[in-house]
Amino acid sequence: MKPFIVPKDATSWVEVAPGSDFPIQNLPFAVVDHKGRGEGMVCAIGDFALDLTYLYEEGFIDEEEFPWLDSMAALDREMMTELRSRIFTLLSAENSELRDNAKHRKRALLPLAGLAFQVPIPPTTFVDFYSGIHHASNVGRMFRPDQPPLLPNYRHVPIGYNGRASSVVATGTNIIRPKGQTKAPDAEGPSFGPTAEMDFELEMGFYIGHGQEMGKRITCKAAEEHILGMVIVNDWSARDVQRWEYQPLGPFLSKSFATSVSPWLVTLDALEPFRIEGMEQDPEVLHHIRRQGQQHFDINLEVWLQSAKMKKPQRICVSNAKHLYWSMSQQLAHQTSNGTPVEFGDLYASGTISGPEEGSFGSMLELTWRGSKPLTLEETGETRTFLEDGDVLTMKAFAESDGLRIGFGACSGKILPAN
């Protein structure tokens, strides 16, 4: 399938500020709840959201081509490509169809500030991988100091686990500090109570557009045909709960309480100019999960933290999706290599994306090295080893080159005290 790439010099009749996440070259999709109109699908342009449901009802979008636009439930990647093409036409500076119709233009363009964003697609399944090699190495150094940082299988197979789809929430959702069972090193037995090591995990995720039936697999070469688009993911973690419960089967209550996702589904077509080869994979992986061309993306990642006492957030991490050892295509090819069925709306997360330097670590666990190097908040002088009640954690992602910026918006959550 040929991608639809908006020309770099294309402009819109909607004013778009320099450095905006949402130029006409992006055109990502979201589902919002708008006062007076209910829930519907929108597309971002500058500081506005184009109401696709309204345009559909007024005949600007063909109902035969796109029979359902209240949600993304009927879209696959090919239909999304066609829809972006139609939206580009409507928003192009040269096109007067909507530009010169004051009534419809006013109704169709909604200020972003007034919208309540939903989870782009409520996932049927949530899978979290462990594909950030620097994060995996850091965790190995912390918890297995007398052994090699990476376990023997890491460079041969994408490691992952099945998460909890029902606790995937939209950006802006408050996160209640979870309770769980923990055991202090010097305690005789475990105790139950609020986590003392609340953490974030900086990740990217992708949604499945059309799936594959049980017993069949998706190849690395064909994987992107099944990927609808990408989002930011924060897989919140309770580290002390995780440390006690994860052996031998892996995380359970320590991660199932909440996973935040950003609202905008950014298409692979929009990210096409930012494809890269990715990290060298050594040793060469088995044929069925071997990379096929440039299947990684150069996407800048940032994490911002604001305490209840601060007036503005402080950036605490700068990383990049290029630090992923395994690509989305390899993750999906591996998931289906045993015949696992996948369905529309399945959400897959990358795992924590840390860079090689301290300022690029994608979790508090690493940034403070298990609490041994507290993080100082410059505005107030407060320190953090892990997240505290009242803290607001915001993740941002954007691909940028030669004046072109394709952004994902933000993924935020505020920590509330345990119930």
Query: Over the stretch 2-18, which tens digit does the pLDDT of each residue have?
Result: 889 999 999 999 999 99
CB 255 within 8 A of CB 241: no
331, 220 Cβ separation under 8 angstroms: no
Burial class (CB within 10 angstroms; exposed 0-12, middle 13-18, buried 19+) of 188: exposed
pLDDT tens-digit profile of 266-325?
A: 999 999 999 999 999 999 999 999 999 999 999 999 999 999 999 999 999 999 999 999
CATH T-level assignment (fold) for domain 126-416: Fumarylacetoacetate hydrolase; domain 2 (3.90.850)
The CA distance from 93 to 102, in Å, is: 15
pLDDT for residue 179 is more than 70: yes
The answer to whether 133 and 355 are in contact (CB under 8 A) is no
Rounded distance between C-alpha atoms, residue 194 and residue 387, angstroms:
12
Burial 338-350 (b: 16+ CB within 10 A, else e): eebebebbbbbbb
197's enclosing H/E stretch is: none
H or E stretch including 78?
helix 77-91
DSSP helix/strand/coil, 152: coil
Task: State the pLDDT at residue 4.
Answer: 94
Mean pLDDT of 357-366: 97
Does 69 have pLDDT greater than 80?
Answer: no
- pLDDT of amino acid 68: 67
29-117 under CATH 2.30.30.230, yes or no: yes
- The pLDDT of residue 406 is above 80: yes
Structure tokens at 290: 């071997």
Say how far apart CA 231 and CA 121 lie, in whole Å.
Answer: 11
Picking from 172, 171, 412, 405, the residue whose alpha carbon sits closest to that of residue 300 is: 405
pTM over 0.75: yes
Q: Which part of the chain is CATH 2.30.30.230?
A: 29-117
Percent of the chain with pLDDT strictly greater than 70: 99
Q: What is the pLDDT of residues 372-381, one digit of tens each?
A: 999 999 999 9
Domain boundaries for CATH 3.90.850.10 within the chain: 126-416
Q: Which residues are catalytic?
A: 135
What lies within 8 Å, CB to CB, of 151 at 6+ separation is: 140
Flag whether pLDDT at 67 surpasses 70.
no
Following DSSP, what letter does each residue of 351-383 receive, concatenated? -----SSGGG-SSHHHHTTTTTSPEE-TTT--E
